[in-house]
Amino acid sequence: MQRATIDLWVGIFVVAGIVAILFLALKVGNLGGYDSSETYAVKASFDNIGGLKARAPVKSAGVVVGRVAEIGFDPKTYEATVTLSLNTHYPFPKDTSASIMTSGLLGEQYIALDAGGSEKMLANGDALKITQGAVVLENLIGQFLYNKSDSAAEKGNAAE
């Protein structure tokens, strides 16, 4: 029967295709290991988020504990409001502080959480009080150049 062998080959083909998709999902993609089911949302306002993107990692002590869920703009305070979804396995105290960091000199930006000492823990929907925005490299360079020219001018004055 020729149809039986065709069926076998088609079966092998379909199984191989599904295995390839699973391989892509589990080994190449981030479907394995990262469970999106149990998270709690925490809000934080920053004066400047720099190049932070949605889905950027939230790290504490260098370990990924959550992701940036949403980035918005508050037209009343003119600040960026960032919603973090943190894994429920990692509860944080209420006075935890958040700051935006850069991994490496030119790497992607992430949010670093520093745990505080409060007895109460953050719950779903809470807001972080202490935040520090991204360091804008251009401002830093600008400040540095400004100081440099200032001190150069002073030196010049002293020499005269």
Question: How many whole angstroms separate alpha carbon 16 and alpha carbon 19?
Answer: 5
Question: How many whole angstroms separate alpha carbon 74 and alpha carbon 61?
Answer: 29
The site that binds another protein (CB under 8 A) totals a number of residues, namely 27
Smaller CB distance to another protein: residue 30 or 149?
A: 30
Using CB under 8 A as the criterion, what x/- string covers residues 36-75 for binding another protein?
-----------------xxx--------------------
Binding of residue 140 to another protein (CB under 8 A): no
CA-closest candidate to residue 49, choices 77, 74, 71, 75? 71
Q: What's the token pair of residue 13?
A: 């083909």
Judged by CB under 8 A, which stretch of 10-18, 89-97, 109-117, 137-145 contacts another protein? 10-18
Maximum distance among all alpha carbons in the chain? Answer: 105
Supply the minimum distance, in Å, between the C-beta of residue 132 and another protein. 24
Question: How many whole angstroms separate alpha carbon 9 and alpha carbon 16?
Answer: 10
What residues form DSSP beta bridges with 87? 39
Overall residue count recorded for the chain in this entry = 160
Judged by CB under 8 A, which stretch of 26-34, 39-47, 81-89, 119-127 contacts another protein? 26-34
Smaller CB distance to another protein: residue 14 or 153?
A: 14
3-class SS of residue 148:
helix
Q: What's the token pair of residue 112?
A: 């670093």
Binding of residue 21 to another protein (CB under 8 A): yes
Binding of residue 31 to another protein (CB under 8 A): yes
Interface contacts to another protein, rule CB under 8 A: 3, 6-7, 9-10, 12-14, 16-21, 23-25, 27-33, 53-55
